[in-house]
Copies of this chain bind each other. A is one copy, B any other.
Amino acid sequence: MQSYALTIDKFLEHAAKWSPHREIVTGNSGRVGYDRLRQRSNRLSGALKRLGLARGDRVATLAWNTQHHVEVYYGTMAAGFVCHTLNPRLTVAHLAAMANEAEDRVLAVGEGLGETALELVRLCPAIKNVIFLDSPDAAPQSVAHCRAFGFESLLADLGCETPWGDFDEEAPAGLCYTSGTTGAPKGVLYTHRSNYLHTLLSLQADAFAMTRRDSILVGVPLFHANGWGLPFAAPAVGAKLVLPGRHTDGAWLASLIRAEEVTIACGVQTVWQRLADHLEAEDGDVPTLERIIIGGSNCPDSLMRRLEDRLQARVQTTWGMTELSPVGTVAPPRGNSRSVASGRPPIGVDLKLTDASGQTLREQRNTVGHLKVKGASVIDRYFRAPVDSLDSEGYFDTGDLARIDDEGNLTITGRAKDLIKSGGEWINPSEIETVIGRLPGVVQVAVIGRSDEAWGERPILIVEPQRGCVLDDARLLDSLRGTVADWWIPDQVFQVADMPLAATGKIDKARLRAEYAGV
């Protein structure tokens, strides 16, 4: 059969040929068809070559969900460069560490991020060019030691047609750092093949099931977990791509959904909660919306019910990771959404549960184990890591604990590294957090281990009460009785005004351990 490299330029080429006028919309600031998007991205590739970039060179983006950002995706990857998406919500020191490890040579900067960019390039000697995206084209001529360009002037002045593809499908395409809540961030280097195959696996009819008639709202940042692969999936099927720009508040998303007749909205649950809040307040609706694809964490039934009732749309829960490109499991677009947890793995994702030593559990159903994954869109090693981190069967350790039900539906039950070993037995903080988190007046909750002479470790409970609420420590602990084993009940309670959060919005347990586990 034909030798046909699985490279991501094919997605945009296909869209340009078969859905030339299907649009990519950026908030209310612009729209373009796939034919034009292809042409512009291709001219960008030519401009980047003229800036001296060679195959495999990395271009960093510090940007929001806009057309220009998608053009940088294709302008880099389709020509064999690597698109390194940076998260603007991280500190400049963090960003610099990543950009320097990646040896980024160009930085593309979104609206309102000029100051951060200036600080960043000062710390990154390898960055020689800065491209200003989004805003009307009035870029400075230089930024620190870098040449600077407005995106449109760069296209006009240096842009030229240039061949795409024609390299090995194993060539690198994208780089995305995991925003671990503990430890140093680690880079995941996606290849063309991994992105191509991830797109096909995510598009299956029991997974994202996107079609040409869909209008897809990208409510997840493009810099988060490979943008969930949406900038690949939408052109692959010829769907409309709706990019909200910088803002994701409820009123803005509601107006976008209505204006662009969005059928599928993708993002973490807090975004859709805000949308539901807004619709409730204004007694509004979003009649075209058919589905919401949720990622990030287990979605409580009550929230799911609220979203489905309020938005009149099907909620599809998922489980994924940056290391998985990111899809691991997906709830199907039909049937009862509230019985399927995070859904099942589509073909292309192999899962297994092991014990702490890595032995495959004899019983893979209805028992908690360490979750391992295998597949063409799953990492083998972190960026710059000298050796792979797979087990003898080639599986990657997610670090998650999970349970799989009789129907194959996955529930994440905690993080392996958060487990607390007390008297030689394991306590899963996540189960305690779930109970406490449901109590009225509790905004955030975390359980961590504190070293203990008698038991090795003992759990302690940290809660952030709702403003104006008074929580009683003893009552909090009482609520656990009968639900978890008595010896799981935390030894001490700390109430805090503000739970420390990492850049992703997840609770920063490393900081909690530093502050409270020594107490």
Which of A198-206, A216-224, A412-420 binds B?
A198-206
Of the candidates A14, A193, A201, A205, the one having the most CB atoms from chain B within 10 angstroms of its own CB is A205
Q: How far apart sit A11 and B237, CA to CA, in the bound complex (Å)? A: 23
Which of A30-38, A369-377, A461-469 binds B?
A369-377
Taking CB as reference atom, which chain B residue is nearest A5? B376
Which of A128-136, A267-275, A296-304, A342-350 binds B?
A342-350
- Is A408 part of the contact surface with B, judged by Cβ < 8 Å? yes
Are B18 and A408 touching (Cβ within 8 A)?
Answer: yes
Q: How far apart sit A374 and B335, CA to CA, in the bound complex (Å)? A: 37
- Is A332 part of the contact surface with B, judged by Cβ < 8 Å? yes
Choose from B190, B334, B374 the contact partner of A4 (Cβ within 8 Å): B374
- Is A477 part of the contact surface with B, judged by Cβ < 8 Å? no
Taking CB as reference atom, which chain B residue is nearest A188? B1
Q: How far apart sit A376 and B199, CA to CA, in the bound complex (Å)? A: 15
Choose from B1, B13, B374, B375 the contact partner of A379 (Cβ within 8 Å): B1
Are B236 and A347 touching (Cβ within 8 A)?
Answer: yes
- Is A176 part of the contact surface with B, judged by Cβ < 8 Å? no
Also in contact, A205 and B18, with CB within 8 A (given A2-B375, A378-B2): no
Residues of B close to A347: CB separation below 8 A? 10-11, 14, 199-200, 236-237
Residues of B close to A213: CB separation below 8 A? 332, 334-335
- Is A6 part of the contact surface with B, judged by Cβ < 8 Å? yes
A310 CB to closest chain B CB (Å) equals 26
Taking CB as reference atom, which chain B residue is nearest A203? B204
Residues of B close to A408: CB separation below 8 A? 18-19
Residues of B close to A6: CB separation below 8 A? 197, 376
Q: How far apart sit A335 and B13, CA to CA, in the bound complex (Å)? A: 25
- Is A210 part of the contact surface with B, judged by Cβ < 8 Å? yes
- A21-37 vs B: 1/0 string, CB under 8 Å? 00000000000000000
Q: Which of A363-399 touch B at CB < 8 Å? A: 374-380, 390, 394, 396
Are B2 and A212 touching (Cβ within 8 A)?
Answer: no
- Is A53 part of the contact surface with B, judged by Cβ < 8 Å? no
Taking CB as reference atom, which chain B residue is nearest A201? B200
- A395-431 vs B: 1/0 string, CB under 8 Å? 0100000000000100000000000000000000000
A2 CB to closest chain B CB (Å) equals 5
Also in contact, A378 and B1, with CB within 8 A (given A347-B237, A408-B18): yes
Choose from B2, B17, B190 the contact partner of A390 (Cβ within 8 Å): B2
Q: How far apart sit A390 and B6, CA to CA, in the bound complex (Å)? A: 19
- Is A141 part of the contact surface with B, judged by Cβ < 8 Å? no
Residues of B close to A10: CB separation below 8 A? 347, 350
Choose from B14, B189, B193, B396 the contact partner of A350 (Cβ within 8 Å): B14
Are B1 and A204 touching (Cβ within 8 A)?
Answer: no
Residues of B close to A378: CB separation below 8 A? 1-2, 4
Are A212 and B332 touching (Cβ within 8 A)?
Answer: yes
- Is A209 part of the contact surface with B, judged by Cβ < 8 Å? yes
Residues of B close to A334: CB separation below 8 A? 211, 213
Taking CB as reference atom, which chain B residue is nearest A377? B1
Also in contact, A1 and B345, with CB within 8 A (given A205-B209, A211-B206, A212-B206): no
Q: How far apart sit A14 and B190, CA to CA, in the bound complex (Å)? A: 24
- A179-191 vs B: 1/0 string, CB under 8 Å? 0000000000111
Q: How far apart sit A374 and B17, CA to CA, in the bound complex (Å)? A: 14
Are A1 and B376 touching (Cβ within 8 A)?
Answer: yes
- A218-235 vs B: 1/0 string, CB under 8 Å? 000000000000000000
Q: How far apart sit A209 and B204, CA to CA, in the bound complex (Å)? A: 7
- Is A41 part of the contact surface with B, judged by Cβ < 8 Å? no
- Is A39 part of the contact surface with B, judged by Cβ < 8 Å? no
Taking CB as reference atom, which chain B residue is nearest A3? B380
Q: How far apart sit A14 and B3, CA to CA, in the bound complex (Å)? A: 26
Also in contact, A193 and B335, with CB within 8 A (given A18-B408, A200-B201): no
Residues of B close to A316: CB separation below 8 A? none
Q: How far apart sit A175 and B366, CA to CA, in the bound complex (Å)? A: 42
The 6 closest A-B pairs by CB, nearest first: A1-B194, A4-B376, A200-B200, A205-B209, A236-B347, A206-B211
A residues apposed to B, CB below 8 Å: 1-4, 6, 10-11, 13-14, 17-19, 189-191, 193-194, 197, 199-201, 203-206, 209-213, 236-237, 325, 332, 334-335, 344-345, 347-348, 350, 374-380, 390, 394, 396, 408
7 A-B contacts (beta carbon < 8 Å): A1-B191, A1-B376, A3-B394, A11-B347, A200-B204, A205-B211, A209-B209
